[in-house]
Structure 1
Amino acid sequence: MSRLRIGSLELDSPVVLAPMAGVTNVAFRTLCRELELERAGSTSGLYVCEMVTARALVERHPVTMHMTTFGPTETPRSLQLYTVDPDITYAAAKMIVDEDLADHIDMNFGCPVPKVTRKGGGSALPYKRRLFGQIVAAAVRATEGTDIPVTVKFRIGIDDEHHTHLDAGRIAAAEGAAAVALHARTAAQRYSGTADWNEIARLKEHVTDVPVLGNGDIFDADDAAKMMEQTGCDGVVVGRGCLGRPWLFAELSAALNGREIPTPPTLGEVAQIMRRHARLLADHHGEDKGMREIRKHIAWYMRGFPAGSDLRNGLARVSSLAELDDLLGRLDPDVPFPRDAEGPRGRQGSPSSVALPDGWLDDPEDTLVPAGADMMHSGG
């Protein structure tokens, strides 16, 4: 059986759901766990919530606090922090400990969005090695004496001329991180092109005292097995590959544990999954916002399936659970899962130069906290 240990957490599957803004809320995580239990007989991986900004958490921003919602039986509860300031990091992690908000803290140093990097946050920050180390150390210090492990996720670097992942992995492990995860793209790549799994292998060779997880271009069960075989990584982190396919975790768990991979769902089964997802979103957000949220998911769910333009347009504007039931009832339930629905999902974008603060690259040892980089809203 393929297992993964992250500090005190013993996981029966080495598969982690990557935090995605507007996606990995309690509704989506619940659905993924339900489908893994239904289709693979277990809920064995780690499902991480949307990214939460440390400052907003400490200031108890209502939207941020709502984002920290976990299901009544969800375990382990995994929360990702975005942070740029060691003091705020400590306060947020201590709040998580004192108020029992989560069982695991992941730290985001991989966000490539220009509004984040131009202020020195996200994937720009590991370039400042000492500041990066101080932030990780602050979170670890706040969780000392608890069973809450701290993990760190980052990218290869800013661009091809400024790789930071080997230093970041070494520093994170030295400061007490229980595992590190690498999205095998630079910030300049965003989500375009191909993830460089060779860099995951390099990180695994470089960091030997904590688990190394790989992220990038895992779209089916074979991809996960290939990444682990080719890189030697201890686990995989799945992001865009599960958009519109929350049952992917059942397939990954089965494949990595030597069990038969479940048959992909028919259109009728996908319709039932959409109904369940919509209900969970309505429970979390209220029906009005829940229906607005489900629309983007419907586009991912329907990829490759036959449906007329009128029906697709109706689904794209659905505004109530009753209307959704009616529209989904018009689909042919016997249509098998389409082959052309496999492969990359979500926005890939194009590579571009990374927006950075003036003089950011001048001194990698600088520990000055970037001004204003933590004022963004939780979720990205």
Structure 2
Amino acid sequence: MKLFRLVLSLAFVASVAAGHAQEIIVGADFDMYFDNKEFGNNTFAVPGLDIESGTDFAARLIPKIGVRWEEKNTLVFGVDMLQNFGEKNSGFLSDVKPIVYYQFLTPKVKAVAGIFTRDMTHSDDYSTAFFTDSHKFIHNRMNGVLAQYNSGPSYVEFICDWEGMYSENSREKFRILSSGRHYLKYFYYGYNFSMFHFAGQKGAQLENVVDAFLLNPAVGVKFSAFFDFDIRLGLLQSAQRDRSFGHSWETPRMGEFGFKMSRWGFTLDERLYFGNNLNPFFGGHTIDNEDGTTTYIPYGRELYPGESFFRTDKNVYNRASLSYAKWFFKDTVRVKAEFVTHYDGTGLGSQQKLEVAVRFLKTAYNSKNHKK
């Protein structure tokens, strides 16, 4: 009932604004995500903080309604509804959250403020050292601002995502993201950057703060010779400091080699990483109390949302995938199937993934076509 009232209220606001707007737009985003992880042969997992194996299987629906005026300005209201398959609870859905944002859009400039979806960014260009695919699906919403400049395939973007409010239920957390690519005829160069401020929680025994930086500069070459090839060299350079447990910086790094070839929707993607454990604080800390007891402060995936394999102590991680992805029905329906293997120097893990996405957006009212 609450969801129905929310959608009805949003529709009413949009209808009132129609008197001053050029367009009323309506649409819906649908995503189904299946990710079966079989990592039993790997030894990176830490009980209670990570998951060796498991399956994510869920569907998301985001109905949207918006007002667009002067062709460049759009105000959008939506509801992010998520259901984890097989979950048994008293609620109608696993999670329901709002989507509310303002967007300024021209052929080269995009600026967004509010609560918006991750697919409005260039998130696919980030290494899985930053975020796993399942993290990007589950944490679909970003809270803050997005600024983006596009020139053909080249772009640069800046994002501020406020992930947690200082309270008794959450740490204060925010992440600054930036990404850029500049394409020449065959060559390109670019970067991805993350600065994560992992601060204190109200009422916690120790309100410690962790600063975590990760920079991924890369150069590459793209060309076609029956197959489309993309070959790149990069560096994953981190700088991390846990202020309550020493002010020295940890600076582990990994080199990156990528080889990708694709045709007819099929893609073979090979990524080789070599270097140090990028997540040195993953296990958190244990502090001794005055009464002789101890308190454990966990970090885990809350601090490091990237692939667990980047914690390898064997100085090597290989990720290889074979996928098929294609848009259908005038680019409104996308299907992607992927098989992934992970080798972290201790064993071979695998993933089987299936994603179905629907993107539908239509102008329901245009004042130019309804003049009195």
Q: TM-score, normalised by structure 1?
A: 0.29
User: Higher helix proportion, which one?
Assistant: 1
Q: Which has the higher contact order (CA 8 A, sep 6+)?
A: 1
Name which one, 1 or 2, has greater alpha-carbon Rg.
Answer: 2
User: Higher strand proportion, which one?
Assistant: 2
Q: TM-score, normalised by structure 2?
A: 0.30
